[in-house]
Amino acid sequence: MTTQIIQTELAEKPTTPIVMAALRERYCAPEFAFFEEVGDAGSSSRVYADGVAINMWASRGYSITGFEVKVSRSDWLRELKQPEKSEPVLTKCDYWFLVAPDDVFVPDEVPPSWGILSFKDGKLREKRKAPKLEPKAITRAFVAQMFRRAHEKEERDISGRVQRALADDRAAMERRIEERVKQQTRQLREEAAKWEKVCSAVGEQWIHDETLIAAIKVVMKSGVVGTYSGLESLLRSARGITKSLEQYADIFAVQRD
């Protein structure tokens, strides 16, 4: 799949994880610390911001920016009917943004206290600058919630890396096993081919192991296959025996006459 096709799919079918990935890329270290799904009251939170970024630079006043992510028109319209839904977290932020594709919202319907980050082709563009808010003092529960989310994300990331490492190890082991099986299969086929060759040479389809071993021992002990001299010696002996038998045969023939 080409980059152009991927970008086309992103533009046509944005999802919340894709938009969140773009937010993490825009609000990243070293300038920002980014947190996802941050509640207003620790473990008892009922309202969450999709994202919160804290500027880590003193020159920027350690400002806090919150984000409401919407990827469908219907979801955004439900948000408009409940303006108080974002208030608990929004009131703790210096800036607040709607983050959505252009076809999700109409700029005039976005509250004037919100900025707008438009998502298109995998990128975020500031369509409307967020005005400076007057945030309330943050609570320990709010800070704890951000750290809790950061810890959960870290655990997910570690778990993901472990799972990928295990998957890589399993794949490597499977490849090694497959290569070993192929090697063993190849060796067995070669041995089978040798055995078939032996059977074909002796004119038998099947030879008992004991019979073949005994025959090989006899031949090897005779020294016939050791050197050329072994073969020549055997031939001389055979010729001598043949000559002696012929002489005995002549003597027996004379005696019978």
Q: Does residue 43 belong to any structural domain of this protein?
A: yes
Q: Does residue 143 belong to any structural domain of this protein?
A: no
Least confident span in 22-31, 93-102, 184-193, 222-231: 222-231
| CB neighbour list of residue 144: distance below 8 Å, 6 or more residues apart | 42
Please tell me whether residues 21 and 104 are part of one structural domain: yes
Flag whether pLDDT at 42 surpasses 60.
no
Q: Does residue 150 belong to any structural domain of this protein?
A: no
pLDDT for position 143:
82
pLDDT for position 41:
66
The pLDDT tens digits for 154-179 are 666 666 666 777 777 778 888 888 88
Q: Does residue 165 belong to any structural domain of this protein?
A: no
pLDDT for position 109:
95
pLDDT for position 179:
84
The candidate with the shortest Cα–Cα distance to 18, out of 29, 28, 6, is 6
Determine the average pLDDT of the residues in 2-10: 46
Please tell me whether residues 13 and 128 are part of one structural domain: yes
* Number of domains, the chain: 2
pLDDT for position 180:
85
Which of these three, 84, 112, 138, is where a domain ends? 138
The candidate with the shortest Cα–Cα distance to 49, out of 27, 33, 34, 60, is 34
Flag whether pLDDT at 208 surpasses 70.
no
Two tokens at 162? Answer: 């472990």
Q: Does residue 102 belong to any structural domain of this protein?
A: yes
- Rg for the chain (alpha carbons), in Å? 44
Please tell me whether residues 134 and 213 are part of one structural domain: no
Which of these three, 92, 113, 138, is where a domain ends? 138
The CATH number assigned to the domain holding 114 equals 3.40.1350
pLDDT for position 64:
96
- The residue ranking higher by pLDDT, 84 or 2, is 84
- Transcribe 164-193 into DSSP letters: HHHHHHHHHHHHHHHHHHHHHHHHHHHHHH
Q: Does residue 148 belong to any structural domain of this protein?
A: no
Query: Measured between alpha carbons, how far is 55 from 74 in angstroms, rounded to an integer?
Result: 32
pLDDT for position 2:
42
- The residue ranking higher by pLDDT, 126 or 140, is 126
Percent of the chain with pLDDT over 70: 67
Average pLDDT value for the chain: 79
Which of these three, 86, 110, 138, is where a domain ends? 138
Instruction: Work out the pLDDT band at 38, boundaries 50, 70, 90.
Output: confident
Determine the average pLDDT of the residues in 117-130: 96
Q: pTM for this structure?
A: 0.58
Range of the domain at 247: 209-256
Q: Does residue 60 belong to any structural domain of this protein?
A: yes
Flag whether pLDDT at 213 surpasses 80.
no
Please tell me whether residues 127 and 230 are part of one structural domain: no
